Chains A and B, each alone.
Chain A
Amino acid sequence: MGAKDIIAWLIPLFPFAGWLLLGLLGKYFKGYAGILASVFIVISFIFSSILFFIVSYTHGFTTTLYPWVYAASFRTGVSAVIDRLSVVMLVMVTGVSAIVHIYSIGYMQGDKGFARYFSFLNLFVFSMIMLVISNNLLLLYVFWEAVGFCSYILIGFWYEKKSAVDAGKKAFIVNRVGDFGFAIGIFLLFITTGTLNYETIFTMIPSIPSITVTAIALLLFAGAVGKSAQFPLHVWLPDAMEGPTPVSALIHAATMVTAGVYMIARFHVIFSYSQFASEVVLTIGTFTAFLAAFIALTQFDIKRIIAYSTISQLGYMFMAVGIGSYTAGIFHLISHAVFKGLLFLTAGSVMHGLSGELDLRKMGGLYSKMKITAVTFIVGGLALSGIPPFSGFFSKDAILADVYNKGFYFAWIIGEITALMTAFYIFRLIFVAFFGESNVDPKVHVHESPKIMTIPMVILALFALIIGFLGIPPFNKSVFYSFLHVAFKNAYNFAPFTNNAPWYILSLISVLAGLLGIFIAYLLYIKKAVNPEKIKNIFKPVYALSYNKVYIDEIYNFIIVRPVLGFSNFLWKVIDALIIDGAVNGVASSFAFFSTKTRKIQNGMLMSYVLTLTIGVAALLFYFFIR
């Protein structure tokens, strides 16, 4: 192992050590648990940055820690691939994690599970790092599930609350549904190529029949649909907001939920060789982006609005990877991680200032009382709405420009409509919460959050302001593109550019869509030009559809949950207890029946025994005679 390899393995080592240390001895660290955990992550971040520069100036490499599962022809090691894609992800994951860790010291202050919280948060960062650097599908799958477990345990962190535990369980199970497909994809890949190692697989893909590649890609995508909360498996993410808000920021916005996008980018060779699978990715992404934005229009829970917005933005990322614009997809992933992390942290700050209140209807006028929170929130909102010069403008437009120029006009129109809705719902939240008259419960003492929380927010806000410039349009001439696109050089160009519309026209349209959304929100909630109630009454069915989240949870409950439980009860009570055990006990009781009957023969009278014996002997003799 050289120095590079050691640096690579030190990155996951620190969070791993933090998990063990805090998990086993957490109570002895008391209030220092948070600082310790944060320091570990910061160290990880420093090593990630060093690795980033090493890879920028030299080549990527793979490194093996130890042989892991060797069974007959199945061979996989604990090995990492360090290339441009993984270092970009590493820096983002450890960077956002460090900020969220520091913020959490303030947010979780005084919670009785303080050490437990940081122990699991470190475990999450470890798992996420390993997910990003795995060089084979088995390891990827392991940490794919491991981040899911951390998500489960952190959503249900306040385990005495039934809704929280329910939400955690729902997340785990819905993810397992996706992972079911993912696992079968891995099996299929293994029997097709005989290996789970990325590099070997990628060299073989071009020679594999396209129907097989399509099947593999679609099955792997099922896993992404679960993890990245895309329709129809998006239902767990809004409920996941039951967890502590920094968890929502880190796991359910910035990192874990983007794993699906990362996975497709990582497997660009597989996906680009199946146009059909890529088009499915595009379709699901586009539809989800629209659906989630539509639902977000009418929600009142601020965290849920942001959660739906995450689902919607992930949809954009899938649009990008679905048309083969992998670099643009990753760019939006990074920029979204920053501004969405920011939105959640500021939402957490709002909650903190309002003693846990999440309902938009019980807010209002908060701007004067929590200025830092308000300003940073607005920065996040502007970035999400795609208003220049904030990062969302650059990254979302990089995607939409490619969608248009590759000729997917319908997806482009949906994308623009979604952008309008996005700007509307986030500014509806901003206007109602921070401006207008206050509806805050008078008993609540509204206050700005401590510095340990506001400083991380400000840092993220600054990044939301500057990070976009890495992708100054035209995107394919930007710094970010020229750094990362070499990682995707082996992709098959299945969707070539058909148009060459200038970027500034497309950007102008997007910005107008965003401004229009903000303007409508302004008319409704600041100017009060029209009473929102009136609009609600005009579009009653549409409003109800949006407000009730398109009834998807109810539909699942009706067509899946209840029938499965009913069927299971039938199996147990009818098949198991009545039929099988009935048959067994029937055999037993028939023995009992016959033995009570035959017992009468054994009556203790010598005469009857002699008689039986004689008859028996006679019968035997008779048998031998006639034989």
Chain B
Amino acid sequence: MGFFIKYLLSILIFFPLASVILLLFINKRKEGLLRNLATALSLIEFIFSLYLFIYFKPNMYKFQFVEKFNWIGAFGASYFLGIDGVSLFLILLTTLLTFVSLISSFRYIKDHVKEFFILMLILETFMVGTFASLDVLLFYLFWEFMLIPMYFIIGMWGTGRRVYSAVKFILYTMAGSLIMLFGLIYIFMLHYDQTGNFTFNILRLYNTHIPLDLQILLFIALFLGFAIKIPLFPFHTWLPDAHTEAPTAGSVILAGVLLKFGVYGFFRFAMPLLPRATLILAPIVIVIGVIGVLYGALVSMVQKDLKRLVAFSSVSHMGFIMLGLFAMSAISIDGSILQLLNHGIATGALFLFVGMLYERAHTRQIGDFGGIAKKAPVLTTLFMISVLASIGLPGLNGFVGEFLILIGSFKHYMVLTIIATSGIIFAAVYLLWMFQRVMFQGITSSKIESFEDMNLREIITVLPLILLMFFIGFYPMPFLERIDPTVLHFIAMVGHRGYIHNLTKLKTGLSNA
């Protein structure tokens, strides 16, 4: 057990890869076996990841489960893993959503079953690796590798203009990543200039002294990489296309995990590496985030395609998260981190339901539905709970995060927070209106007449997410008490939000440069 706990992060990274090797030996025609085995393995991975939660010490900001080995000594690159209260939950989210999306794919994926499950497991390795890496080079490798399986998942198992969407997705994010890589390497070189040591160790790079003018430029570089990933308005247009054409599992992972990397990047890299630029540029980022809140909500309102609607709602939700993160109060950042999980849970669930509707009716057009409630009460109930979680109804998870973000941001960004708060009205409008047209009213189409309710597999798929919605809504303490110390440490590192009022020095620094 001691070994298992000590190397748990490595085990979590490489277990899915090992599973892939096992799957390779199975005949591709044994689709049932492949499905069951891959899903079972992803469940084991999830159970393993629960040990992270069990053995993670709350009330501590230091990195835990640290593993460090020399990797490429010449560059100072090391195999350096560790998690804090933020990456802990993001890894748990990843392993849970991978399991959920695999079990959701039993009916949806009919061709190239073996390849699909293998790619999903490979993707899991990269995702967990990205969250666990504390070495910039290692992080970047995992980060880029993630794109490859996702590209194929959209391009091969997608619908409609899937190749266009896949290419758009990969070009967009690659472009951002390259600029980001440039920024990271620049910091690496600066650190070398100052200390004479090559290191990709992020904890050491935090100590790099970077002049303010350079910080601003580097921040812009990292911003582009992360903003595209989130995606922030106006870098979001890859998202609706990718989401709409991706298979259900792809959408779930995309919304549930991949979008989180952008925010995580800000949290782990951009903000602590470039604290002064962060404080100066925060208002701009927040403005962009708040525009996203309203923009995403308004555009969602007029969508006719269910998946596109949910995709744009992500733009809105991520805007809230950016507001909380850059408002730089402990309360709002706590809220943002919690909201990362909430968004993964709620939006993941929404995509699962849209997938179920699509599997039954072979359409995603809102206008083609109506009256499903009569035929499928279980589906209606669970779908409604997910919709309400996404709206931020109190008692469910979304509310706690949203409320903390807003109440924490209000002090320093009063007007912007008020504008963002109006987003809660629009969220109710677009989601309830959608739900009404799809699930309620009279039955309009013959397809709905033969509509089946959820089967046991589908219920198992969404049940963990539904239970989490209630759990976090009623009792968020197990989450908050682990996130909070990390966030407090983060604020100490980036600089207290109060500093920004003392900007005169920084501003003269800027004009001199």
Contacts and interface: CB of A to CB of B under 8 A. Distances in A.
B178 interface: no
B442 A160 contact: yes
Residue from the set B238, B298, B442 with the largest chain A CB neighbour count within 10 Å:
B298
A571 to B, nearest CB: 5
Nearest to A569: B302
Contacts of B417: 187
Residue from the set A180, A564, A565, A568 with the largest chain B CB neighbour count within 10 Å:
A568
A613 interface: no
B64 interface: no
Interface stretch (B34-42, B388-396, B458-466): B388-396
Contact of B436 (A74, A169, A180, A568): A169
A568 B295 CA distance: 8
B302 A184 contact: no
Given A165-B441, A572-B303, A187 B425 contact: no
Given A69-B480, A169-B432, A588-B171, A188 B410 contact: yes
Interface in A56-76: 66-74
Given A145-B394, A565-B301, A72 B425 contact: no
Interface stretch (B86-94, B203-211, B398-406): B398-406
B214 interface: no
Nearest to B329: A72
A166 to B, nearest CB: 8
Contact of B330 (A68, A73, A565, A567): A73
B298 A568 contact: yes
Interface string A181-223: 0011011101100000000000000000000000000000000
Given A141-B394, A183-B421, A187-B417, A74 B331 contact: yes
Interface string A139-173: 00111011001001000100111100110010011
Given A172-B428, A569-B302, A160 B441 contact: yes
Contacts of A138: 403
A173 B431 CA distance: 11
A172 B422 CA distance: 14
B404 A176 contact: no
A503 B394 CA distance: 45
A581 interface: yes
B410 A177 contact: no
B445 to A, nearest CB: 15
B495 to A, nearest CB: 16
Contact of B480 (A70, A176, A568, A575): A70
Contacts of B429: 173
Contact of B425 (A152, A173, A568, A580): A173
A581 B165 CA distance: 12
B172 interface: yes
A571 B298 contact: yes
A6 interface: no
A187 B413 CA distance: 12
A156 B435 CA distance: 12
B496 interface: no
Contact of A70 (B395, B440, B481): B481
A576 interface: yes
B412 to A, nearest CB: 9
A206 B443 CA distance: 58
Contacts of A160: 371, 373-374, 440-442
B295 A580 contact: no
Given A69-B400, A186-B407, A149 B299 contact: no
Contacts of B171: 588
A584 interface: yes
B149 to A, nearest CB: 23
Interface string B307-342: 000000000000000000000011100110000000
A184 B417 CA distance: 9
Nearest to B411: A191
Contacts of A69: 400, 403-404, 476-477, 480
B234 to A, nearest CB: 5
B217 interface: no
Contact of A564 (B237, B238, B298, B484): B298
B488 interface: yes
B333 to A, nearest CB: 8
A584 B234 CA distance: 10
B249 to A, nearest CB: 26
Interface size class of B (residues with CB under 8 A): 35 or more
B440 A184 contact: no
Given A72-B487, A145-B393, A67 B442 contact: no
Contact of B407 (A145, A162, A187): A187
Interface string A490-510: 000000000000000000000
B330 A71 contact: yes
Contact of A71 (B168, B334, B433, B436): B334
A568 B394 contact: no
Interface in B210-259: 234, 237-238
Given A72-B487, A169-B433, A183 B442 contact: no
B410 A70 contact: no
Contact of B395 (A146, A172, A581, A588): A146
Contact of A581 (B237, B373, B441): B237
B85 to A, nearest CB: 12
A72 B237 contact: no
A146 B406 contact: no
A564 B429 CA distance: 11
Contact of B237 (A187, A190, A584): A584
A156 B439 CA distance: 12
Contacts of B303: 572
Residue from the set A68, A149, A165 with the largest chain B CB neighbour count within 10 Å:
A165
Given A67-B477, A191-B411, A568 B331 contact: no
B190 interface: no
Contacts of A74: 331, 334, 404, 407-408
Contact of A183 (B373, B400, B406, B477): B406
Given A66-B475, A72-B330, A581-B237, A146 B394 contact: yes
Nearest to B406: A187
Nearest to A196: B407
A72 B475 contact: no
A572 B302 contact: yes
Interface in A563-592: 564-565, 567-569, 571-572, 575-576, 580-581, 584, 588
B424 interface: yes
A72 B424 contact: no
A180 B330 contact: no
A145 B388 CA distance: 11
A36 to B, nearest CB: 19
B106 to A, nearest CB: 25
10 contacts: A67-B477, A68-B476, A72-B330, A73-B331, A149-B388, A169-B432, A180-B422, A183-B424, A568-B302, A572-B302
The 9 closest A-B pairs by CB, nearest first: A72-B330, A142-B394, A71-B334, A187-B410, A568-B298, A159-B440, A581-B237, A572-B299, A165-B440
Interface of B: 168, 171-172, 234, 237-238, 295, 298-299, 301-303, 329-331, 334-335, 371, 373-374, 388, 393-395, 399-400, 403-404, 406-408, 410-411, 417-418, 421-422, 424-425, 428-429, 432-433, 436, 439-442, 475-477, 480-481, 483-484, 487-488
Interface of A: 66-74, 138, 141-143, 145-146, 149, 152, 156, 159-162, 165-166, 169, 172-173, 176-177, 179-180, 183-184, 186-188, 190-191, 564-565, 567-569, 571-572, 575-576, 580-581, 584, 588
